[in-house]
Chain A
Amino acid sequence: MHPVVSTVLKRLALGLVTLVFVSIIIFCSIQLLPGDFGEAILGQAATEETVAAFRRELGLDKPAVYRYFDWIGSVMTGDFGTSFSGRSASGVNRARPVVDLVGPRLGNTLFLASIAALISVPLALFLGITAALWRNSVYDKLASATTLTTISFPEFFVAYVLILLIGTLWPIFPSLADVEAGMPFWERVYKTMLPSITLTLVIVAHLMRMTRAAIINLLASPYIEMARLKGEPAIRVILKHALPNAWAPIAAVIAFNLAYLIVGVVVVEVVFVYPGIGQLMVDAVSSRDIPVVQACALIFAATYILLNLTADIIGIVSNPRLLHPK
């Protein structure tokens, strides 16, 4: 088999195994819950029959292994179970399926994350590459100092500074990103501008520093020096000699930062009251709505693993040493 294919397959298998273990961890978390949460959810006034029915619905009368396969099986078919909220002691069940809660919000979050990524990735790559090319110039030093400070700021600090400046003092963009389902596209973009700018600022700092480091690392290698000594023009050195080897680190950097975006999105959504999956998860944690928390955690973890997997595969596929085996 071609070495690229076998390496990619190996990496895919490893990703799958990680995903399985992560799902086991997330599932086991519900087991760690102390005491009987049938009573905790339904309240003190619940009759024994309601609690028993609730326990039966969750499958608590079956062994854990059986329940795990039951859970993972329904997750595969897109069924994340039923939310804990909306249940009452009287046995009236107004709980909604988790999919209905998560579905539309997941779309919103993806929308926000992709806008932030669309702005930040090209910007950061441009800044990082130029800073690496003109390193130790005033431009580079300025960019480095600025990014080091932005990295140290918590997301909500950046968010509130933006709200204060361009949300309330000079109201250019709305400080509440309350998007709804039927909104026209551009109004949606307008509403999500402030959260996107916040995420962009946080991501660009990381992305730029890592791109700069990767490029500098590359430009220091002997074959680049050789190309320069041969008298190749600078642009050709970059495009023909440096870039083929730079794809892997740059892809890794982008994937790492998109993964970082997932975490950043939680805080930013809460600041701007954006109806996304991050806010849903925080609310579910506060109200201890375990099925929703599990679903959100699984989605976040799966995205995170998938992004890292993509970066690795791009790294393998674009590696010139693997493409031309001896």
Chain B
Amino acid sequence: MTDARKSYSAAAEVGFVRTRRTRLARMWIELKKAPPTAIFGLAVIMFYIILGVFAPWIAPYGEAEIFPQPFASWSSEHWFGTDQIGRDILSRLIYGSRNTIGIALVTTLIAFLIGGVFGLVAAITRNWIDQLISRGVDVLMAIPSLIFALMLLSIFGSSAWSLILIIAVLDSTRVFRLTRATAINVAVMEYVEAATLRGEKLGWVMRREILPNILPPLVAEFGLRFCFVFLTIAALSFLGVGIQPPTADWGTMVRETANLIQFARFDLKAGLTPLLPASAIALITVAVNFVVDWFLHKSSGLRDEH
């Protein structure tokens, strides 16, 4: 190796064929350079995904299985006790990761689909459609989203799908703003004009010319939006108008076991029970925030200093 360094030959360099690393190898290298907070975040997210996907095999009892003793204390049988009608808290926590995260994820995806498509169309066309959607979004964003969601839920009722659609539509306004703002800068590039001139349709320009160039901020935004949606749904469920029982959900669980907190002086473990689902919510939002932070630093070279 050292000999090769000393004697340089152009032919040898040309002959040296660069082997491109596989995507997996590159990801592994990036991961090894990641700060501990990001590693922690990724680990937590992986943990939650595994819990959610394999919930029926991991959970000791069923989601809505009722045991004779309500509000049982922590024991080897029920690790975290039972809730107000005697359902095992640990099992519901595990099932909750599937329901709560699943619903938040679907909502965020729909929000990005709506907001992204409209944002791209508005940025490319820049005509009355753009004006119409932008002004509409301005008005929608003038109402706090939790309040708006509460109002719409009182009209459509609190089913899982109406919850998903309402939050998705309200959240898509912010996605629209970001997509439009970033896509406008790309839409004026020469290669986009070239694509339009050679007769590509709107769909192609959106998907092949602009989308790849605005992806990094959108991916970071996806993480942040997911957190926001997740917290909104948790708050709505906590208020009793979100995900409805018997579906296990962390926000609802906090609400149902909240009374236990006043017994904390007699049995500390009972007082901790309502904090378990609440901290499950807190943990995943912290984790996603850490990962998004790392991703932002990586993708845009965004520095805090200046």
Number of interface residues of B (CB under 8 A): 48
Task: Tell whether A18 pairs with B138 under 8 Å between CB atoms, given A154-B234, A169-B264, A293-B151.
Answer: yes
Task: Tell whether A267 pairs with B261 under 8 Å between CB atoms, given A22-B142, A297-B151.
Answer: no
Task: Tell whether A216 pairs with B304 under 8 Å between CB atoms, given A29-B151, A151-B289, A160-B258.
Answer: yes
Question: Which of B68-76, B198-206, B235-243 lies on the face that meets chain A?
Answer: B235-243
Most buried by B among A21, A152, A175, A284: A152
Q: Which B residues, 136 to 151, have Cβ-Cβ distances below 8 Å to chain A?
A: 138-140, 142-148, 150-151
Query: Is the CB–CB distance between A29 and B238 below 8 Å?
Result: no
Interface string of B248-287 (1 = CB under 8 A from A): 0001001000100110110010011011001101100110
Query: Is the CB–CB distance between A282 and B142 below 8 Å?
Result: no
Query: Is the CB–CB distance between B235 and A155 below 8 Å?
Result: yes
Most buried by A among B138, B146, B147: B147
Query: Is the CB–CB distance between B142 and A293 below 8 Å?
Result: no
Q: Which B residues, 291 to 306, have Cβ-Cβ distances below 8 Å to chain A?
A: 293, 304-306
With both chains docked as a complex, state the minimum distance between the C-beta of B201 and any C-beta of chain A, in angstroms. 34
Interface string of B43-71 (1 = CB under 8 A from A): 00000000000000000000000000000
Question: Which of B7-15, B152-160, B181-189 lies on the face that meets chain A?
Answer: B152-160
Q: Which of B150, B240, B265 contacts A168 (CB 8 A)?
A: B265
Number of interface residues of A (CB under 8 A): 54
CB of B227 within 8 A of chain A? yes
Q: Which A residues, 93 to 148, have Cβ-Cβ distances below 8 Å to chain B?
A: 135-136, 148
- Judged by DSSP, the binding face of A is helix
Query: Is the CB–CB distance between A157 and B281 below 8 Å?
Result: yes
Q: Which of A22, A156, A300 contacts B278 (CB 8 A)?
A: A156
Query: Is the CB–CB distance between A267 and B239 below 8 Å?
Result: yes
Interface string of B100-131 (1 = CB under 8 A from A): 00000000000000000000000000000000
Query: Is the CB–CB distance between B150 and A285 below 8 Å?
Result: yes
CB of B165 within 8 A of chain A? no
Task: Tell whether A157 pairs with B279 under 8 Å between CB atoms, given A29-B152, A286-B240, A288-B154.
Answer: yes
Query: Is the CB–CB distance between A18 and B286 below 8 Å?
Result: no
With both chains docked as a complex, state the minimum distance between the C-beta of A168 and any C-beta of chain B, in angstroms. 4
CB of A251 within 8 A of chain B? no
Query: Is the CB–CB distance between B289 and A300 below 8 Å?
Result: no
Question: What is the bound-complex CA distance between A226 and B259, given in angstroms?
Answer: 60
Question: What is the bound-complex CA distance between A95 and B61, given in angstroms?
Answer: 46
Q: Which residue of A lies closest to B152 (CB)?
A: A29
Task: Tell whether A22 pairs with B147 under 8 Å between CB atoms, given A149-B286, A152-B227, A154-B278.
Answer: no
Q: Which A residues, 284 to 326, have Cβ-Cβ distances below 8 Å to chain B?
A: 284-286, 288-290, 293-294, 296-297, 300-301, 304-305, 308
Q: Which of A149, A157, A259, A293 contacts B275 (CB 8 A)?
A: A157
Query: Is the CB–CB distance between B239 and A160 below 8 Å?
Result: no
CB of A237 within 8 A of chain B? no
With both chains docked as a complex, state the minimum distance between the C-beta of B262 and any C-beta of chain A, in angstroms. 6
Interface residues of A (CB under 8 A from B): 18, 21-22, 25-26, 29-30, 32-33, 135-136, 148-149, 151-157, 160-161, 163-164, 167-169, 175, 216, 220, 259, 262-263, 266-267, 270-271, 281-282, 284-286, 288-290, 293-294, 296-297, 300-301, 304-305, 308
- 7 nearest A-B pairs in the assembled complex, by CB-CB distance: A152-B285, A157-B278, A285-B154, A152-B286, A21-B139, A300-B147, A168-B264
